[in-house]
Structure 1
Amino acid sequence: MQNVIDVLEERGFIEQTTHEQELAQYAGSGQVSCYIGFDPTASSLHVGHLVPIMALAHMQRHGHRPIALVGGGTGLVGDPSGKTEMRKMLTVEQVNANVLDIKRQLARFLDFSQDKALLLNNADWLTQLYLIPFLRDFGRHFSVNRMIKAESCRARLESEEGLSFIEFNYMVLQAYDFYKLCEQHQCRLQMGGSDQWGNIVAGIDLIRRTLGEQAFGITFKLITTSSGAKMGKTAAGAVWLDPERTSTYDYYQFWVNTDDRDVARFLALFTFLPLSEIEKVGALEGAELNGAKSVLAFEATRLAHGEEEAIKAYRSACDMFGLRSVADSILPSSRIPRKVDLIEGDNVPCSEMLSDEFEEGIAAFKLFHETGLAKSGGEARRLIEQGGGYVNGRRLKSFDQLIFTKDFSEMGLLLRAGKKRFHKILIKEKK
């Protein structure tokens, strides 16, 4: 079996590692344990967490034991990494509730049966510490000079708010987590985002000084889109893994709307499809590339929400936008349905409008009238006011809501009146 470190490298996960050759030997020496920490400051993880989650899943698929460490203890302190101001302090009850929700989401990606993966909470040991013994036995191994040079601390020290004493302890506590996992579970590999490099190295050093063991670290690349935007951020905010916060359909649509330039890269990162198939995506164009986007959306949704929900989301997209079936030759290992029965088939009425017409926005009721979904402007207003007007599956809040070109997806703009009457508008550029 291929070394998992090579797999993560080939698929675009890794930014930097410690002890490169020794790490490769360690990962190839048999089953090893590795861990990643997850911050419980929200009730749900989001798309920005998928790189570390997928990395743990790859480790498990290669015979290793992943440990997902939920920061029930460090969550009470706060990580200054990447933050310009101190986080809002959460109560113990809030943190514990968030921990339970995060555990359920991680279980979609990892098999926790028979200890094939572990879900641990650092509150189990951090909240039991006594300050003076901890400072004497562990605090003495940390250099303040080195700590303030870490990027996570330096940025905050230079900020207007500064760095609080409680957050300054975060590096020490995370290093202690690594120590405890090494001592109790023989875990000698920690992985995390690029902003965690200083914390990971501190843990490696602590393990060497206290246990005499060689530990390792991997950091992941910060994933941005080809347009330069941070991965997982949309105009509406974060894309959550919890379907109560981001519906399964909206989650699917997030992936369908991937920039053409990002499709192959995101397939490598966020699905388990073979690289040999993904490499061929770069040569696809037009309808075939849209088919690859459908596969990306289906596979990503299947992992986060299950196959049944992914099929529902795919069929809903087909119903709304009249998508064609995905050819058997496109990413053939995918479990996406290759033949879909569309309600209304491909017979959704369709018209074209110039992009110029939407520059200043067109009131929704006018579109419903012009496309024949309402016999008059008055009827269109009443339809929308009574909750029967939809654009791209979302109910309109007001009859005069303006529709702009940015509201169009690559498949157009779908208007719906009531439950069964549709009209699709396509954009055409002025010649």
Structure 2
Amino acid sequence: MSNIFDELQWRGLVAQTTDEAALREALDGTLTMYVGFDPTAPSLHFGNLVQLVVARKLQRAGHHVICLVGGSTGLIGDPKPDSERVLRSKEQVAEAVASIQRQAESFLDFEGDNPARMVNNLDWTEGISALDFLRDYGKYFRVNSMIKKDAVSARLNSDAGISYTEFSYQILQGLDYLHLFRTYDCTLQTGAVDQWGNILAGVDLIRQAEGKHVHVLTTPLLTDSTGRKYGKSEGNAIWLDPTMTSPYAFFQYFLNVEDSEVIKLLKVFSDLGPDEIKDYEEQVANEPFKRAAQRALAAAATTLVHGAVATVSAQAASEALFGKGDLHALDAGTLQDATAELPGGVVPAGTPIVDALITVGIADSRNAARRLIGDGGVSVNNEKVTDVDATLGADDYLHGVVAVIKRGRKYQAAARAS
């Protein structure tokens, strides 16, 4: 594709622009862009990942990238359409800023001939006095325009109303774009489409304060199968922090994506080209049961976020649990992640298998358990149990922690040592 804009558009990463023709022309040369993240949680999530993908692709196309983490805007909070945010302490926000900066750094190149730049908007807003804020920046904002923003309008029409604190958020975000324009000649801001109003505040501020025109590119919101966007406020966040969503759980999420969504996500989170994507589209249409596109998506997304080693471990765990892989080969951490959500219970070593089947919920009686074993439908750690009098030995507990008991190929449970 001759222009990076064409690639972003083909990958479904363009929702709106301020001036498509002008942006295309600017992207034919070299520009500086920025993307911002507010530290409203200790980790970025799957929804934020889209913005990092856009920044990564723009950097690889030769453009200069600034990643902003909002130490000041995070203290205020982007207005929600339904209620006021609970303000977090400065210490909590500072910790989240540091955590998110570490995460974002892994997606961009901060070395070489075209290094990305990491900034914190607290650095240029903390020293501004209230009078200077109102005189130097507030004068450019018209209240009648500010109240038209969707979230602000919704709050004004609700019983909750909106505080001046959150009402002023769009001024702070606009100030970010102005500062980066003045300091680094930044002329493009990217963000999710639901940030369109806030981002335009910066465009208008630069036009009024500097008499210059700058660009905006927003991406569509990725939604789950129910139509909800991904995020902590929606209760369906897929976190990028491995301690909050393990690499195995991350991999499994993408492995289970519906056929109707998989190609869209594969375009976003992989570097596959049109011919390869077309091949996966045909496989989804003709052989959906093989889930080839889902496997490619899970591998690409997990490698992007957690690295190749974590992806191999997640693939091995998935195959061991749902295929014919070797559970004994899994490391303790991956095993813990892979079995964390399995039903089950505590089953001490030496317990007869028939009793273990009852404890973990596979059988509802000893007779039923014996029938399952006699029919060849029970396995422990993927090894078929043939003796109805067998017991769970200490060696059956992988890493001394858990034994995986299966009924047939699909139903499985965890017998935990304690």
TM tier, smaller: 0.7 to 0.9
1:366 pairs with 2:367: no
Residue type at the aligned position of 2:98: L
Residues 118, 235 of structure 1: alpha-carbon distance in 2 compared, 3 angstrom cutoff = closer
Whole-Å separation in 2 of the counterparts to 1:391 and 1:296:
29
Deviations along 1:173-195, whole A, 9 cap, x unmatched?
Answer: 10000000000011011111112
Deviation per CA, 1:37-66, whole angstroms, max 9, x where unpaired?
Answer: 101011101111111111111111111112
C-alpha change, 1:46 and 1:176, in structure 2 (3 Å) is: same
Supply the distance in 1 between the matched residues of 2:62 and 2:289 (Cα, whole angstroms).
Answer: 35
Once residues 118 and 313 of structure 1 are traced to their aligned partners in structure 2, the CA distance between those partners, rounded to angstroms, is: 32
Deviation at 1:227, TM superposition (A): 4.4
TM-score (norm 1): 0.77
1:59 equivalent to 2:58? Answer: yes
CA displacement at 1:300 relative to structure 2: 0.4
Q: Are the aligned partners of 1:108 and 1:303 in contact in 2 as well (CA < 8 Å)? A: no
The residue number in structure 2 matching 1:85 is 83
| 3-state SS in 2 of match to 1:69 | strand
Q: Quick one: which amino acid aligns to residue 198 of structure 1?
A: G
Change (3 A) 1:42 1:241: same
Shift of 1:291: 2.3
Deviations 1:210-249 (A, max 9, x none): 1222111111111123543434689984211000111111
**Aligned counterparts, 1:119-134, within 5 A:** 119-134=118-133
The answer to whether the 8 A contact 1:14-1:221 is kept is: yes
Q: Which runs of 5+ in 1 are unaligned?
A: 324-340, 346-361, 393-402, 420-431
The residue correspondences of 1:177-256 to structure 2 (distance < 5 A) are 177-231=176-230, 237-256=236-255
Cα distance in 2 between the residues matched to 1:234 and 1:76: 17
Offset of 1:152 from its aligned partner? 2.2
Whether the aligned pair in 2 keeps the contact of 1:255 and 1:293 (CA below 8 Å) is yes
Q: Which residue is 2:164 aligned to?
A: 165
1:297-330 per-position Cα deviation (integer Å, ceiling 9, x unaligned): 111000101111111111111222227xxxxxxx
* TM-aligned CA deviation for residue 22 of structure 1: 0.9
Shift of 1:390: 4.7
Answer whether contact 1:32 1:187 (CA < 8 A) is retained. yes
Q: Structure 1 residues 260, 113: CA separation in 2 closer, same or farther (over 3 Å shift)?
A: same
> Is contact 2:228-2:234 (8 Å) kept?
no
Which segments of structure 1 move beyond 6 Å, counting only runs of 4 or more? 232-236, 374-380
Per-residue CA deviations over 1:251-295 (Å, capped at 9, x if unaligned) read 110110100111111100112221321122121144674122111
- What is the rounded CA distance, in whole Å, between the counterparts of 1:302 and 1:208 in structure 2? 41
1:107 aligned to which of 105, 108, 122: 105
One-letter amino acid of the counterpart of residue 153, structure 1: V
Unaligned runs of 5+ in 2: 330-357, 380-384
Residue correspondence of structure 1 range 28-427 to structure 2 within 5 A: 28-29=28-29, 31-80=30-79, 82-114=80-112, 116-231=115-230, 237-284=236-283, 285-286=286-287, 289-322=290-323, 364-367=360-363, 369=369, 370=372, 371-373=377-379, 388=402, 390=404, 412-415=410-413
8 Å CA contact 2:405–2:415 kept in 1: the answer is no
What is the Cα deviation at residue 11 of structure 1?
0.5
Q: CA contact under 8 A between 1:248 and 1:313: conserved in structure 2? A: yes
Whether the 8 Å CA contact 2:280–2:292 is kept in 1: the answer is no
Distance 2:276 2:243 in 1: 33
For 2:276 and 2:171, how far apart are their aligned partners in 1? 44
CA contact (8 A) 2:378 2:405 kept: no
Asked if 1 retains the 8 angstrom alpha-carbon contact of 2:140 and 2:205, the reply is yes
Question: Matches of 2:152 and 2:281 in 1, distance apart?
Answer: 41
State the distance in 1 between where 2:316 and 2:227 align: 31
Return the TM-score normalized by structure 2.
0.79
**Cα pair 2:73 2:172 within 8 Å, conserved:** yes
In the aligned structure 2, how far is the partner of 1:96 from the partner of 1:89? 13
Q: Residue 21 of structure 1 aligns to which amino acid in structure 2?
A: A
Distance in 1 separating the partners of 2:261 and 2:132:
51
Q: Secondary structure in 1 aligned to 2:148?
A: coil
- Percentage identity across paired residues of the two chains: 37
Q: Output the CA distance in 1 between the equivalents of 2:15 and 2:249.
A: 30
Q: Is the 8 A contact 2:230 2:237 kept in 1?
A: no
Count of equivalent residues: 366
Match of 1:14 in 2: 14
Indicate the structure with greater helix content.
Answer: 2
State which drifts further: 44-53 or 283-292.
283-292
Deviation at 1:199, TM superposition (A): 1.4
